[in-house]
Amino acid sequence: MDFRPPRLRTALMLGTAFMAGVAVAPATGLLGQALAQKAGNSQMYQFLKQFGDVVERVRADYVEPPNDRELVENAINGMLTGLDAHSNYMNAKAYRDMQIQTKGEFGGLGIEVTQDNGFIKVVSPIDDTPAFRAGLKPGDIITALDGKTVQGLSLNDAVDKMRGPPNAKIVLTIKRQGVDKPLEVSLIREIIHIQVVKSRLEAGNIGYIRLSQFTEQADPSVREAIRSLKEKSGGKLRALILDLRNNPGGLLDQAVAVSSDFIQQGEIVSTRARHPEDSNRWNAKGDDLLNGLPMVVLINNGSASASEIVAGALQDHRRAILLGTRSFGKGSVQTVIPLPGAGAMRLTTARYYTPSGRSIQGLGIEPEVPVRETAEEQGSFGGDHEADLNRTITNQGGTTPDKVEPRTDIPPIASSIPNKPPEGFPKFDPLKPSETDFQLQQGLVLAKAMADGRNASAH
């Protein structure tokens, strides 16, 4: 995608500290160009003069001599974070960390976070990490680190404090919906090696693939998982469940590639930017690795950004049936632009649209088969969707839901699938997912019915 400045690689990001894309061309002289272009604008000139006056007053009269670099970096970050929930500034260290993490390895707790209302909000814990094993949940609000409040810290500063050498302890103070008292969670830092794909063969030759993030390894790992499932089933794979729950997103090219693994032809996603020439469209590459086998996709409020691109493409192409709860609703594109001095800015540059022309910004994707994770209503302290965040961009220019043709390929059994677990259903145990994961259980019921229907029609 050719955003200004040119030759930038685009990333879809949730505004998290642990998920981002990488740009490949520096924005050299970007600020200088902007100042030169605006020099003739008297109002902008006055604003910039006022900014300079404030900087000089702070340098001259603040109670302690300030760090000039920190002054400017804080000002830049304030300008960007004031635009929307996903634009921000990364200093040199944060930018290096982002580049490392995109490759699927980093040090810390294994937690996807964003900033909201001055606190740090959990988007999702990463599988098999300290945060996951400690039971952190999407929507949890981190109010303090080692007893010190996070208010006043930037997202990058908070993330830096959560990172540290392996085996070092940190205590997170958590506010959780439905719990009256703050929770103190003690974690031991680890080197996080992200295994973005896990797969197994369920009963009846139903394949299961969990994709936890869209790093550079997402598509190669999905393709290898499909190959392995076919081999384990003796060539008799009957259907596939793709689990995108609590997947906060990642790289756009990986979202397109994973979608193309199941869609033979047609549009995957399009973007519309401020400048028409910067808009773009991505199409399938003509290769369905499953040859039309039935698919069920599991989503929830932690499925965001790149996850929503994949879910939306599979839904619009009638390639899969979605089961679970409404997704997060992040329909914007961020471009990472390197800046002189080794830092970078993450700037919202476009909205994206599903193949039918829908913008899911602030709306999310509704599954055809709604199934809750638990029997209790799951509220979230501070909200758990894009529309609940401060400074979100508007949803505009897309096809309205009433213009999308209703599906006619949903198997009859879908109407009898319960929308929540029965009373007394066991608490989720990651060691026994097939017995304790209610959404997965219903996904298996749906996938089996779809496979049986396909076999019946083949005869």
From first to last of its 459 residues, the chain has per-residue pLDDT tens of 333 333 333 444 433 333 322 223 344 444 555 555 555 577 888 899 999 999 999 999 999 999 999 999 999 999 999 999 899 999 888 888 777 766 666 678 988 788 877 789 887 788 788 999 999 988 899 999 999 999 988 887 888 889 888 889 999 999 998 898 999 999 999 987 778 899 999 999 999 999 998 988 999 999 999 999 999 999 999 999 999 999 989 889 999 999 999 999 999 999 999 999 999 999 998 789 999 999 999 999 999 999 999 999 999 999 999 999 999 999 999 999 999 877 999 999 999 999 999 999 999 999 999 999 988 765 554 567 887 787 788 888 888 766 778 888 999 999 999 999 999 899 887 778 888 999 999 999 999 999 998 876 665
Predicted pLDDT at 390:
76
Q: 3-state class of 359 per DSSP?
A: coil
Query: CB under 8 Å, gap of 24 or more: what pairs does 448-453 form?
Result: 448/204, 448/206, 448/238, 448/239, 449/411, 449/413, 449/414, 450/239, 450/294, 450/296, 450/321, 450/411, 451/204, 451/206, 451/238, 451/239, 451/293, 451/294, 453/411
Which tokens hold the place of 389? 């965040």
Predicted pLDDT at 106:
66
Instruction: Say which of 140, 219, 253, 316 is annotated catalytic.
Output: 316
Question: How many Å apart are CA 28 and CA 338, to the nearest integer?
Answer: 8
Known active-site residue 2: no
Q: Going by C-beta distance under 8 Å and a sequence separation of 6 or more, which residues neighbour residue 194?
A: 104, 105, 106, 110, 126, 212, 213, 215, 217
In CATH, the architecture of 197-458 is: Alpha-Beta Complex (3.90)
In CATH, the architecture of 105-193 is: Roll (2.30)
Reported as a single tens digit per residue, the pLDDT across 169-216 is 999 999 998 898 999 999 999 987 778 899 999 999 999 999 998 988
Q: 3-state class of 116 per DSSP?
A: strand
Which tokens hold the place of 103? 């490759």
Report how far Cα 77 is from the mean position of its chain's Cα atoms: 21
Longest dimension (CA), the chain: 84
Question: How many Å apart are CA 265 and CA 214, to the nearest integer?
Answer: 22
For residue 9, count CB atoms less than 10 angstroms from its CB and return exposed for 0-12, middle for 13-18, buried for 19 or more. middle
Predicted pLDDT at 458:
61
Exposure b/e, 158-188, CB count within 10 A at least 16 = b: bbbebbeeeeeebebbbbbbeeeeeeebebe
| Residue extents of the structural domains in the chain | 105-193, 197-458
Note whether 411 and 453 are within 8 A (CB): yes
Known active-site residue 316: yes
Q: 3-state class of 272 per DSSP?
A: strand
Predicted pLDDT at 16:
38
For residue 139, count CB atoms less than 10 angstroms from its CB and return exposed for 0-12, middle for 13-18, buried for 19 or more. buried
- Measured at the alpha carbon of residue 388, what is the angle toward residues 213 and 159, in degrees to the nearest 5? 50
Reported as a single tens digit per residue, the pLDDT across 374-421 is 887 655 545 678 877 877 888 888 887 667 788 889 999 999 999 999
Known active-site residue 427: no
Instruction: Say which of 221, 305, 332, 380 is annotated catalytic.
Output: 305
> What are the φ/ψ torsions at residue 111 (nearest 5 degrees)?
-140, 130
Instruction: Say which of 199, 330, 384, 448 is annotated catalytic.
Output: 330
Predicted pLDDT at 29:
47
